[in-house]
Structure 1
Amino acid sequence: MGTPRSRRSELATPASSERMCAKAPRWGADLVFLDLEDACAPLVKESARSIAVEALTGQDWGSTLRAVRINGLDTVWCHDDIIEVVTGARDALDVIIVPKVRTARDVWWVDVLLTQLEQKLGLARRIALEVLIEDAEGLANALDIARSSTRVEALIFGAGDLSVSLQARVDGNFDPLGRYPGDFWHFARTQVLTAARAAGVAAVDAPFPAYGNPDGYRSAATQAALLGFDGKWAIHPSQVPLANDAFTPTSAEAAAAQDIVERYRRAEADGTGAIGHDGRLVDAAHARLAANVLTRSRTAASGPVAGVAPDA
């Protein structure tokens, strides 16, 4: 496998809004998804498909990944979401985001339909999938879901609907309503992250609805990055640079990682399995950790350049 596609920031954009879809490519997000699901009221879900197709095909997206979140498989809109958007956008669509995935069979259904469409339309590239783990059954089946299709490139932790499924007592930012020891969502996050890593796909952290609280978003993104997540959803353009920063190793971190890798390689070539550096032991595990940092740095460099400042 080559260098994975950068997913530090995934910006949500209502597919029903021509104005917001027109602005979406400029914010510098690694991925933008035009949302046909929660961001669209039932009355405009069908008309939003053509707006999404026009936005995907009629603009220069640069290196930003172009995605659409379809409606759930248990809705009347899902089937036509896939057919109409793929038929209209064709090779201008990189990723479909599948919400509320509960079992591997859910992914299989989308995979089969996409395969038929790609063959029928003669598409040059396979459309990738990202799947939302936002249901108790989906969380329990996360590993099977992550391994269900070679199209799956990322698992997304969805705290909002998971709160509903688990009957959690949380506020509008999915934080506990009372005192809770530690990170309220640590177990669920780790479940999603572990499944993603075991399957060799990316892990993307949940949205942070309180877009007027940049410090809170920065803190949440930093915690997710420390755990090992590759990126985080942004529900407002102002959150994009915060996510890009949190999931990009600093130049000092990259330089230190490169130094560790080079020192260990030289020692290994001399037949030494562990060395001392700055008063600490450095062995094979440390070298692999450093290699992870370098991989993240290269992946971040493949993402789009910073966008213009968002509207207030």
Structure 2
Amino acid sequence: MSTSRLRRSELSTPGHSPKMIAKAAASEADLVFLDLEDSVVAAKKIESRQNIIDGLNTLDWGSKTRAVRINPVSTPWCHGDLVDIVTAAGSNLDVVIIPKVFGPRDVWFVDDLLTQLETHLGLEVGRIKLEVLIEETEALSRVEEIAACSPRLEALILGVGDLSASQGIRLGHIGAAAEGATYGYPGDVWHYARNRMIGAARAHGLDAVDGPYGAISNPDGYERESTWAATLGSVGKWAIHPSQIAIANRVFAPTAAEIERATAAVSAVEEAERAGLGAASLNGMMIDAATTRIFVAVLDRARQCGVM
């Protein structure tokens, strides 16, 4: 279960740089989010809105999803981010990403303000969708409630940098261990958070997206973390550097071998059903209706990604 929007790669692009915005529009990312939060210093937040407006209105984005990460609702910039950008470029904006959410109330604020703006501006009400960053322990503890709180919501994103600080994890970011930091834990410190967020997202028909990998000089590490997230059910991952886009697009799409295996499995079960049998055997493995769901999902995902 997921939305119809591709999110294999979500490219982070600083709103203060028109040059980087233009490069992002020409990239192979499924979704580009123009950032007003962490990558933009306080003194440039307001002026960066115009760069984003110009980029949304003048650049050719192809089939990409166009998104903006606003500042948190607890800051003095959130309201202005939404009002200025939706007023000037709302028809060219697909998604708003809300950072540092603590509970449904934060989502409702953005949802309500978007509804007011769309109504006032004559835009289609509800067309601009939401993604929410799960990057505070309060949000993780209420993730199921957050996942169910708004019809605009399309995806949850695991933000591990701020989650580290919120939880007191002594690790700066995914990739720190690969860069020589002492890991200090005999496993994946993000496994619980990933699994809980993915479960909440799937239960409510949302996409689960894995957050950033800081070691941009370590593509093998990025691919490993992407593979872990994909195996657990995430549909994509953030790319904080263009070099990570191709890896995400490949890892979060079914391989030719997976498609072949899924096609054979579904065909075997259908043949067994025609013969009045409840299960089939393929390459020495029993396949029944329960396992068929997995293979049908693989084929659906392959069609969505355009690789089948």
2-structure distance, mates of 1:88, 1:18: 17
| Partner Cα distance (2:173, 2:272) in 1 | 53
Partner of 2:131: 130
Contact 1:154 1:203 in 2 (8 A): yes
Matched, 1:181 2:182: no
Query: Counterpart of 1:62 in 2: which secondary structure?
Result: coil
Q: Which stretches in structure 2 are left out of the alignment for 5+ residues?
A: none
**Displacement after TM superposition at 1:80 (Å):** 0.5
Q: Classify the secondary structure of the residue corresponding to 2:25.
A: helix
* 1:149 counterpart SS class: coil
1:227 alignment partner in structure 2 = 232
CA RMSD of aligned residues (A): 1.6
Deviations 1:92-138 (A, max 9, x none): 00000000111111111111111111111111461000000000000
| Partner SS, residue 26 of structure 2 | helix
Q: Which moved more, 1:222-231 or 1:235-244?
A: 222-231
Does 1:148 pair with 2:153? no
* Number of aligned residues: 302
Q: Deviations over 1:129-184 (max 9, x none)?
A: 00000000000010111110011000000000000101110135464633311111
Within 5 Å, which residues of 2 pair with 1:1-80?
4-80=4-80
Whole-Å separation in 1 of the counterparts to 2:170 and 2:187? 16
2:166 matched to 1:165? yes
- Unmatched segments (≥5 aa) in structure 1: 303-312
1:264 to 252, 260, 269: 269
TM-score normalised over the length of structure 1: 0.93
Do 1:160 and 1:174's aligned partners in 2 also have CA atoms closer than 8 Å?
no
The one of 298, 302, 305 equivalent to 1:297 is: 302
**Alignment partners' CA distance in 2, 1:5 and 1:264:** 29
- When structure 1 is superposed on structure 2, of 204-213 and 177-186 the one drifting more is 177-186
Q: Relative contact order: is structure 1 or structure 2 higher (C-alpha 8 Å, sep ≥ 6)?
A: 1
Say if 2:100 and 2:135, in contact at 8 Å, map to a contact too.
yes
Q: Are the aligned partners of 1:163 and 1:174 in contact in 2 as well (CA < 8 Å)?
A: no
Give the residue type in structure 2 aligned to 1:71: N
How big is the shift at 1:2?
9.1
Q: Residues of 2 paired with 1:112 and 1:258: CA distance?
A: 44
- Taking a change above 3 Å as real, the CA distance of residues 5 and 148 of structure 1, as seen in their structure-2 partners, is same
Native 8 Å contact 1:3 1:299 kept in 2: no
Q: 2:176·2:214 contact (CA, 8 Å) conserved in 1?
A: no
8 Å Cα contact 1:222-1:246 kept in structure 2: yes
What residue number does 1:307 align with? none
Contact 2:2/2:206 (8 A) holds in 1: no
Give the CA deviation at 1:266.
Answer: 2.5
Contact conserved, 2:28 with 2:245, CA < 8 A, in 1?
yes
Deviations for 1:46-101, whole angstroms, at most 9, x for unmatched residues? 00001001101101111110000000010000001011111111210000000011
Query: 8 Å contact 1:248–1:296 — kept in the other structure?
Result: yes
- Which residue pairs with 1:310 in the alignment? none
Cα distance in 1 for partners of 2:283, 2:117 equals 57
8 Å CA contact retained: 2:143, 2:197: yes
* Runs of 4+, deviation exceeding 6 Å: none
8 Å CA contact 2:2, 2:205 repeated in 1: no
Give CA-to-partner distance per residue, 1:170-212, whole Å, 9 cap, x none: 1354646333111111011111111101111000001001111
Query: What is the letter of the counterpart of residue 132 of structure 1?
Result: L
Deviation digits for residues 10-54 of structure 1 (CA, Å, limit 9, x no counterpart): 000001101101111121000000000001000000000010011
Given the superposition, is the C-alpha separation of residues 56 and 196 from structure 1 closer, same or farther in structure 2, using an over 3 Å criterion? same
Deviates more, 1:7-16 or 1:21-30: 21-30
State the alpha-carbon separation in 2 of the partners of residues 109 and 70 from structure 1.
Answer: 13
Q: 2:201 aligns with which of 188, 196, 201?
A: 196
Which residue is equivalent to 2:140? 139
